[in-house]
Amino acid sequence: MSIWEYANPVKFMRTSGAILPFAVAGAAACTLGGLLWGFLTPEDYKQGSTVKIVFLHVPAAMMAINIWVMMLVTSLIWLVRRHHVSALAAKAAAPIGAVMTLIALATGAIWGQPMWGTWWEWDPRLTSFLILLLFYIGYMALWAAVEDPDSAADLTSVLCLVGSVFALLSRYAVLFWNQGLHQGASLSVAPGERMSAVYRYPLYLTMAGFFLLFLALLLIRTRTEIRRRRLAALQAREMRT
């Protein structure tokens, strides 16, 4: 029983169809539960009620990065083992990752507004997420631009690889860039900061919720791609006969 069995589209459809209801239920329960719980937590003495934004910002930011890593792994699997399900999964994941990045950016900016006085600051972390968004957009644009599906899969996989290296590189360049210019513009809540239990547990719940949400959406979107691919194959066969 190896994971490579799921590279078979039929088996993938069957298994994902079985998992999907649980993923959806889990996503809804954890996300809504976590957000509601977080919403009911007391205010932070330093940041007031804005601390409640953490329950959106941190899970979204985490998923934004993890989804790109997942795309990198599935791209590599496609390049090496040519499993179409893998390539389609990467294609399916990208819009989810882009939306997560947008949420991280929007909540980060809105959260910073009371502190900074402006709607945007070139804080190193926010800037890195903006760059990540650019990579997501480029990746999705390339998928859309190339007609042949296998070529599109190959080219976007190579782009994902090169992009990953540069995303990392940019992270450090941006840190250098902002620290070099002026101090004091960073978001004052670092995910690494010690959070009191009051906030920590709702946060874990929403993080789980966002992960399950990603899983559910990924499964649905990959199934869509598999169906589209099958449709194209059937139509091509029809044209030939």
Partner 1 sequence: MLSLLKRDLALATRAGGGFGLGVAFFLILCALVPFGVGPETGALRPIAPGILWLGALLSCLLSLDRIFALDHEDGSLDLLATSPLPLEGAVAVKALAHWISTGLPLIAAAPLFGILLHLPAAATPWLVASLLLGTPALSVLGAFGAAITVGLRRGGLLLSLLVLPLYIPTLIFGTEAIRRGQEGGDPATPMLFLAGITAGVVALVPFAAAAALRVNLR
Partner 2 sequence: MIELGKYAGTVLASYGVSLALLAGLVWQTISANARARRDLERQEKNG
* Residues within the interface to partner 1 (CB under 8 A): 131, 134-135, 137-138, 141-142, 145-146, 151, 154-155, 158-159, 161-163, 166, 169-170, 172-174, 176-177, 180
- 207 binds partner 2, rule: CB under 8 A: no
Rg of the chain over Cα atoms, rounded to whole angstroms, equals 20
Angle CA 150–68–126, to nearest 5: 140
Q: How many angstroms separate the CA atoms of 58 and 168, rounded?
A: 19
Binding partner of residue 106 among partner 2, partner 1, none, CB cut-off 5 to 8 Å per kind:
partner 2
Part of the chain binding partner 2 (CB under 8 A), chosen from 3-11, 107-115, 169-177, 194-202: 107-115
- Return contacts of 136-143, CB within 8 angstroms, 24+ apart: 136/68, 136/94, 136/97, 136/98, 136/101, 137/98, 138/163, 139/71, 139/94, 139/163, 140/94, 140/95, 140/98, 143/91, 143/94
Please state the separation of Cα 185 from the chain's center in Å.
25
137: amino acid identity, one letter: I
Which of 11, 43, 137, 169 is close enough to bind partner 2 by CB under 8 A? Answer: 43
What's the closest the beta carbon of residue 126 comes to partner 1, in angstroms?
15
Site string for partner 2, 74-103 (x = CB under 8 A): ---------------------xx--x--xx
Angle CA 192–194–197, to nearest 5: 125
CA distances from residue 189 to 76, 185, 195 in whole angstroms, order as listed: 35, 12, 10
- 107 binds partner 2, rule: CB under 8 A: yes
Site string for partner 2, 148-187 (x = CB under 8 A): ----------------------------------------
Binding partner of residue 146 among partner 2, partner 1, none, CB cut-off 5 to 8 Å per kind:
partner 1
Residues lying near partner 2 in the complex (CB under 8 A) are found at 35, 39-40, 43, 47-50, 52-53, 56-57, 60, 95-96, 99, 102-103, 106-107, 110-111, 113-114, 213, 217, 220-221, 223-224, 227-228, 230-231, 234-235, 237-238
